[in-house]
Amino acid sequence: MTARAEDLPARLGTSQNAVSNLEIGERRLDVLELRPLCAALGISVEAFVARLEHVLAKDPWRSTSPQGPYGRAPPGSTILTPMETAMHTPRITRRTFLASSAAVAASTTAHPIIAAPSRRAPSLSRSGTLTGRVIWPQGPDYDEARLTFNTRYSRFPAAVVVCDTTEDVQNAVRWARQQNIPFRARSGGHSYEAFSVVDDGLVIDVSGLDATVVDTARGEAVVGAGVRLLDLYRHLWNFGVTLPAGTCPGVGIAGLTLGGGIGFLSRRYGLTCDNLLAVDLVDANGDTLRASVDEHGDLFWALRGGGGGNFGIVTTFTFQVHPIAEVALATVTWPWDDVAEVLDAWQRWAPFVDNRLTASLGIANPGAGVISSTALFTGAPDELPTLLAPLLAAGTPSAPQIQSLPFMAAAEQLAGAGGGHANFKNTSALAYEPLSPQAISTLVDGLRAAPTASNLVGLFPLGGAIATIDPAATAFPHRRALFDLQYQAYWWDASEEQTDVAWVDDLRAAMAPYTTGAYVNYIDADLPNWETAYYGPNLDRLMQVKSAFDPDDVFNGPQTIPGHGS
Ligand SMILES: Cc1cc2nc3c(=O)[nH]c(=O)nc-3n(C[C@H](O)[C@H](O)[C@H](O)COP(=O)(O)OP(=O)(O)OC[C@H]3O[C@@H](n4cnc5c(N)ncnc54)[C@H](O)[C@@H]3O)c2cc1C
C-alpha cells in the first residue's frame, strides 16, 4: 500500500509540520529515519536506493548534498529530497503532492482510470488522456511493473499503462506523442535486452489484451497481443489444436511472432509468423489498421520477421492453427568428450530428418559432464528408433528416454526446462552450411574456456517447413539456414557479469567466420552490423515499409529499423 499524504504524520508518529519540512527539503533525513519513512511511503529501502542511484546517475548534481557532489551545485540545479527520491520525482509543491497521492489512491481502486495528474512530472499529464491501468512511479505496483525478465537490467519508466482494450493502446500512443516522451510496447517482457522497458518513458503493456478466440470450423484463432505462450497452448489444447511457437512459458505472442517464432513444431508447420493470417495494430498516429495478404500487404510482409517495436503496436493476431493430439518426447545424453563427433552428426541429421521430428542439442561447458538432445516427434513413437539412428550412431549415447504423451504435457515439460529469471547475456548466429571441423573445434575451445558452469551453447534445427518458403517472401530472411546457435551466459553474482559478457562476445567473434547473421528475437545490443545480421537482403524492403508506415520514426528505440533517409 502506498501512503496517502495526509496519513504520513500518523504513520511516522510525527507532526504534519515535520513531514512538510521533509517534503520541501527544509529538513534533511538522518539515515536511521530512512527505514520507517520508506515503510510509511510503502516502498522498500532497496527500491529507494535503486531509484536514488537511477536519478543520480542521470544527473549527479541532483544530490542530497546542498552543495552537489562536487562541492557546488550549478546555477538552476535542484536538490533532491529523500521524499522526492522515494517517489522518484523532481521537487514538488505540497499541492501537487496531495493531488498525486489522490491519483495513486484512485489507481488502486478504480479500473480503468483516467490518468490523474502525475506527481513525478506534473506537466506530463495535463493534455491528452491515458486510459487503462496506469501505474505511476509512486504507485504500489510500480516496482513489479517495471521488472524486466532479464534481471541484468533495471529501468525506471515514467509510467506503465496496462492496456485492456485497443482504445487504451491508441490513447497511450497519442498521449506519449503529445508528451514527447519515448515509449515501448510490451507483451511478455522477454526481450533479451529488456528493450520493452524504457527509462523515463511510457511502457505500453498489452498484457490486458489476453483473449484467445478459436474458430475450429475455420481452423483459426484470434489471439490477443498480450497472451503468453503456455497460456496459449493450454487454451488451444482445449480445442485439440495448436500453433508452432516457442518453448518458454512466459514469452509473449507479440514479440515472438513479429520476429519469426522458432519452436519444436516449426519444422512441421513453419515459424509462428508463417501461420499468421492477419494482424490488427495501432499505428504511429494512434489509428487502427489491419494488415493481411489483401490489406497493406507490404506491412504484413514486414510484420512476419521484421521484429517487435518497429511498425506499430499489435493488438491481435489471427493465426491458422493445427490439430494436435499425442506426441513423443525423447532425450539422449552423451559424455562431454563426445562433443565434436555428436555435434557433427547432429548438424548433418537434425535439419534434414523427417519434418515431424525436431531435435535440439544443448552443450554446456565440460564441467556439466554431458551434452544432451531433446526431441519432439508428432508421429507414432515406434517410428522414432529408426529416425534417431543416425544421431545415436555418434559417440556413446545413453539409451534414449522416449515417452508418449499428450502434446500439452510435452509443452509443459519443455516449458519447465526453460528456467526462471536471471541475469543473462545471449546472442545468436545461423549456420547455413554444416560447421567445418575447424569451426567445431573453435566452438569446443570456446566451451572449454567458459568461465562458469552456467555457460552453454544451444543449437536448434531449422529446415523442414521453414525452408519451403522463399527467403524474400516474408521479412524473416534465414530460411536457408540449417540451424541456429545461441551462445548463452547466466549469472547471479554481479561480479561475474564482465567475464560472462566477454565470453559471449569472444565466442560470437570467434564463430563469425563460420556463421551468418543472427536471429532478431535473440536480440543483442552489442551485435556488430545488427541490421544486416538480422535482416540480410530483406533490410532494404523493411526500410521502405518503415518509411511508408512510420515516416516520423515514432516507433524508435535501440536497434529499431531505420527508414530511408534517416
Ligand atoms: C527464456 C526465453 C525463451 C525463449 N524461447 C524462444 C523460443 O523457443 N523461440 C523463439 O523464437 N524465441 C524465443 N525466445 C525469444 C523471444 O521470442 C523474444 O525474446 C521475444 O521478443 C519475446 O517477446 P515478448 O513479447 O515476451 O517480449 P517483449 O519484451 O514484451 O517484446 C519484445 C519486443 O517486441 C516489442 N513488442 C512487444 N509487444 C508488442 C506489440 N504488441 N506490438 C509491437 N511490438 C511489440 C517490444 O517493444 C520489444 O521490442 C525466448 C526468450 C526467452 C527470454
DSSP string across 388-412: HHHHHTSS-PPPPEEEEEEHHHHHH
Ligand 1 centre distance from Cα of residue 488 (Å): 17
pLDDT of res. 32: 60
Strand partners, 221: 214, 319
Q: What is the ipTM of this complex?
A: 0.99
Which atom of ligand 1 lies at the shortest distance from residue 225's CA?
41
Residues of the chain with pLDDT under 70: 1-128, 417-421, 566
Cβ neighbours for 360, distance < 8 A, ≥ 6 positions apart: 264, 373, 374, 375, 458, 459, 460, 461
Instruction: Supply the Cα-derived Rg of the chain in whole angstroms.
Output: 26
Ligand 1 centre distance from Cα of residue 228 (Å): 10
CB-CB contact of 246 with 271 (8 Å): no
Cβ neighbours for 61, distance < 8 A, ≥ 6 positions apart: 68, 69, 73, 74, 77
pLDDT of res. 422: 87
Mean model confidence pLDDT for the chain: 84
Element (H, E) at 173: helix 166-179
pLDDT of res. 518: 98
Which atom of ligand 1 lies at the shortest distance from residue 315's CA?
41
Whole-angstrom distance, CA of residue 257 vs CA of residue 104: 35
Whole-angstrom distance, CA of residue 180 vs CA of residue 72: 32
DSSP code, position 507: H
Residue nearest to atom 21 of ligand 1 (CA): 255
Residue nearest to atom 52 of ligand 1 (CA): 190
Pocket probe mutation, ligand 1, options 152, 168, 186, max atoms within 8 Å of Cβ: 186
Which atom of ligand 1 lies at the shortest distance from residue 226's CA?
41
> Strands 370-377 and 423-431: what pairing?
unpaired
Ligand 1 centre distance from Cα of residue 254 (Å): 7
Residues 290, 296, 297: CA angle, nearest 5 degrees:
120
Whole-angstrom distance, CA of residue 263 vs CA of residue 531: 23
Domain annotation for the chain: domains and CATH numbers = 5-90 (no CATH), 96-205 (3.30.43.10), 326-535 (3.40.462.20)
Which atom of ligand 1 lies at the shortest distance from residue 523's CA?
19
Ligand 1 centre distance from Cα of residue 8 (Å): 41
DSSP code, position 312: -
- Interval 492-513: pLDDT, tens: 999 999 999 999 999 999 999 9
Which atom of ligand 1 lies at the shortest distance from residue 308's CA?
34
> Strands 241-242 and 288-292: what pairing?
unpaired
Q: Which residues of 401-426 are buried (b: 16+ CB within 10 A; e: fewer)?
A: ebeeeebbebbebbbeeeeeeebbbb
Which atom of ligand 1 lies at the shortest distance from residue 519's CA?
11
Whole-angstrom distance, CA of residue 132 vs CA of residue 113: 6
Ligand 1 centre distance from Cα of residue 316 (Å): 15
pLDDT of res. 416: 85
Neighbours of 498 (CB within 10 A): 11
- Interval 479-494: pLDDT, tens: 999 999 999 999 999 9
3-class SS of residue 520: coil
pLDDT of res. 254: 98
Instruction: List residues near ligand 1 (CB under 6 A).
Output: 149, 184-192, 195-196, 206, 225, 246-248, 251-252, 254-256, 258-259, 261-263, 308-309, 313-314, 418, 521
Which atom of ligand 1 lies at the shortest distance from residue 312's CA?
43
Ligand 1 centre distance from Cα of residue 521 (Å): 6
- Interval 512-538: pLDDT, tens: 999 999 999 999 999 999 999 999 999
Place of cell 510496447: 185
